[in-house]
Amino acid sequence: MSDAPLVLGIETSCDETGVGLVRGRTLLVDAVASSVDEHARFGGVVPEVASRAHLEAMVPTVERACVEAGVRLSDVDAVAVTSGPGLAGALVVGVASAKALALALGVPLYGINHLAAHVAVDVLEHGPLPEPTMALLVSGGHSSLLLVPDVTDDVRPLGRTIDDAAGEAFDKVARLLGLPFPGGPHIDRAAGEGDGAAIAFPRGLTAAHDLRRHRYDFSFSGLKTAVARWVEHREAGGEPVPVADVAASFQEAVVDVLTRKAVLACREQGVDHLLIGGGVAANSRLRVLAEERCAAAGITVRVPRPRLCTDNGAMVAALGAEMVLRGRAPSALDLPADSSMPVTLVRA
């Protein structure tokens, strides 16, 4: 595999400056500089803080990636970058960097879709993707069900959140319960001590009439409000809030809907393979319930390891390498950063 293309991937759509190096389908390095600590006191990602951090982290992260992979920049055969969707000011730093690298090295540039990259990253862990694959992408910015016949060329959105992303709901409920940002890991940990059936929180868009209009869509805003009401009622009554039970019951409501709709989509679209990606894929209960329900439905589940589920440059490099391997045309040098890039556009 030594003559497989060496692809450098850059990801700056949110608060992680990611630089990954992939040779063919082999991960060499996944270097990430995160500004999450700078955002924690604001309770969420501040775009300007993230963009400033990307500028400062870019060159050191590229250099660290090369050192750790034991390659020289001049060995790189192609550069890939997230051109969208994401925070506009943050994307711009990555796109400009990738163009400068492609110019300096005289290699092709691939501007690619962040969501497709979350799907493609699993080739690094579990090999080539079955075609078609159903992808459930859940993070702080996205909650989508995608039918993926070809991750380099054909990604079809089936459903998405109509309000909050799943990860956003985790952050907001964590704050309500006095848990730190980002909320996902803290809710997961607290839930481990609680009873997921303790409180019957609502399952958004699962009623019969909602399933007609929003068959594969998600909604987490109502759930978040229901949790807030429940907690405030307890506080108003002077009773202590059972944090573990609230966390577990909230988490159960989220992962119940996610897995139920993912299995429904697989069945109805005749797809036997489900891939779960995005930061929320690191949630332990989501993994367990997805395995359980997919096993019962005869569907195989692939979940990349948590480090590859959160935003990183390796996923961008992985999709870039697939593009090279499949002979897809590179992007032009006037490639834009597109904050609302549609998922149907895999390569800009």
Partner 1 sequence: MLILALDTSTAAVTAALHDGSAVLAERTALDARKHAELLAPSVDQVLAEAGAGVGDLTAVVVGVGPGPFTGLRVGLVTARVLGAALGVDVHGVCSLDVLAAAADAGETGVDFLVATDARRREVYWARYVRDGDAGPRRVDGPRVDLPREVPSAGLPVVGRGAALYPEQFGDAVGPLEPSAAALAGLAARWLRDGVEGPRAPGTGREPQVRTPDGKGPVPFGLLPPEPLYLRRPDAMTPGARKRVLGRA
- Within residues 191-250, the interface with partner 1 by CB under 8 A covers 225, 228-229, 232-233, 236
To the nearest whole angstrom, how small is the minimum distance from the Cβ of residue 105 to partner 1?
A: 6
Q: Is residue 25 within 8 Å of 124, Cβ to Cβ? A: yes
Among 335, 341, 343, 346, binds partner 1 (CB under 8 A): 335
Q: Is 51 in the site for partner 1 (CB under 8 A)?
A: yes
- Within residues 69-108, the interface with partner 1 by CB under 8 A covers 73, 88-89, 92-93, 95-97, 99-106
Which one, 111 or 277, has the nearer CB to partner 1? 111
Q: Is 175 in the site for partner 1 (CB under 8 A)?
A: yes
Q: Is residue 144 within 8 Å of 115, Cβ to Cβ? A: yes
- Rounded (5°) CA angle 194-207-119: 70
To the nearest whole angstrom, how small is the minimum distance from the Cβ of residue 259 to partner 1?
A: 27
State how far the Cα of 213 lies from the Cα of 220, in Å rounded to an integer.
16
DSSP code of 163? S
Which one, 46 or 325, has the nearer CB to partner 1? 46
Which one, 200 or 333, has the nearer CB to partner 1? 333
To the nearest whole angstrom, how small is the minimum distance from the Cβ of residue 236 to partner 1?
A: 7
Query: 239 to each of 88, 174, 179, 201, 236, how far by Cα in Å?
Result: 44, 19, 19, 19, 8
Two tokens, residue 150: 């070809």
3-state secondary structure 174-238: HHHCCCCCCHHHHHHHHHCCCCCCCCCCCCCCCCHHHHHHCCCCECCHHHHHHHHHHHHHHHHCC
The single residue listed with the structure tokens 């190096």 is 21
To the nearest whole angstrom, how small is the minimum distance from the Cβ of residue 271 to partner 1?
A: 37
> Under 8 Å CB-to-CB from 335, ≥6 apart: which residues?
81, 83, 95, 99, 109, 111, 348
To the nearest whole angstrom, how small is the minimum distance from the Cβ of residue 144 to partner 1?
A: 25
To the nearest whole angstrom, how small is the minimum distance from the Cβ of residue 187 to partner 1?
A: 16
Q: Is 67 in the site for partner 1 (CB under 8 A)?
A: no
State how far the Cα of 161 lies from the Cα of 145, in Å rounded to an integer.
9
To the nearest whole angstrom, how small is the minimum distance from the Cβ of residue 71 to partner 1?
A: 13
> Under 8 Å CB-to-CB from 198, ≥6 apart: which residues?
242, 245, 246, 248, 249
Q: Is 305 in the site for partner 1 (CB under 8 A)?
A: no
Interface region with partner 1, contact rule CB under 8 A, candidates 122-130, 265-273, 292-300, 328-336: 328-336
Binding footprint of partner 1 on the chain (CB under 8 A): 41-43, 46, 48-49, 51-52, 54-55, 58-59, 62-63, 73, 88-89, 92-93, 95-97, 99-106, 175-176, 225, 228-229, 232-233, 236, 333-337
